[in-house]
């Protein structure tokens, strides 16, 4: 059975909890990603911030992204462990309608991220994500909104 660690992008970069949303936006642009995990000074995962969060919860509300901290948008965190099986990963992503899932190790440190693209690639490779799993994920995340 395949695990989260088999499909994740390893080595995900964190934005520090005290770094600004401007810094987060620059990191996202430089890395060509739409989300960044937020890590604390203890190197533990604290949250996640997306490009959409920056636009809708900061800029659209007239706030200054150079003053607002990443953790201000951290919100409730959902993540999976590297040794969780794909059914567990997909269930959490479907249940919470999450398109990007942080992956942590047994010490709660970030070790990677799983995105929709990773799921599609796992499906394309033919062994990591089944047709049924991908259909259920798509129905849950896209059809129920």
pLDDT of residue 87: 86
Measured distance CA(45)–CA(74) in Å, rounded: 10
- pTM, rounded to two decimals: 0.80
| Model confidence pLDDT, tens digit, residues 93-145 | 888 888 889 999 988 899 999 988 787 776 555 556 666 666 676 666 666 54
Residue 120 belongs to what H/E stretch?
A: helix 116-124
pLDDT of residue 122: 61
- Angle, vertex CA 121, rays to CA 37 and CA 84, nearest 5: 55
Measured distance CA(82)–CA(32) in Å, rounded: 24
Q: How confident is the model at residue 8 (pLDDT cuts 50, 70, 90)?
A: confident
Q: Which two tokens stand for residue 80?
A: 């999976």
| Model confidence pLDDT, tens digit, residues 59-99 | 999 999 999 999 998 877 899 999 999 889 988 988 888 88
Measured distance CA(129)–CA(76) in Å, rounded: 27
Q: How confident is the model at residue 17 (pLDDT cuts 50, 70, 90)?
A: very high
Residues 6+ apart with CB under 8 A from 11: 112
| Model confidence pLDDT, tens digit, residues 29-44 | 999 999 999 999 998 9
Number of domains the chain is built from: 1
CATH number at residue 119: 3.10.580.10
Q: What is the mean pLDDT of residues 18-33?
A: 96
DSSP 3-state of 15: strand
Which residue range(s) make up the domain with 86?
4-143
């Amino acid at each position: 059975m395949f695990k989260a660690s088999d499909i994740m992008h390893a080595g995900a970069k964190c934005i520090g909890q005290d770094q600004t949303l401007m810094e987060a936006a620059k990191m996202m642009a430089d890395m060509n990603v739409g989300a960044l995990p937020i890590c604390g000074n203890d190197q533990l995962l604290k949250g996640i911030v997306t490009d959409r969060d920056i636009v809708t919860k900061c800029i659209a509300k007239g706030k200054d992204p150079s003053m607002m901290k990443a953790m201000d948008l951290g919100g409730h965190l959902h993540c999976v462990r590297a040794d969780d099986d794909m059914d567990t990963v997909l269930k959490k992503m479907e249940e919470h309608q999450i398109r990007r899932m942080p992956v942590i190790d047994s010490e709660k440190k970030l070790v990677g991220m799983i995105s929709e693209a990773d799921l599609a690639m796992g499906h394309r490779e033919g062994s990591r994500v089944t047709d049924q799993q991908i259909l259920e994920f798509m129905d849950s995340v896209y059809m129920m909104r």
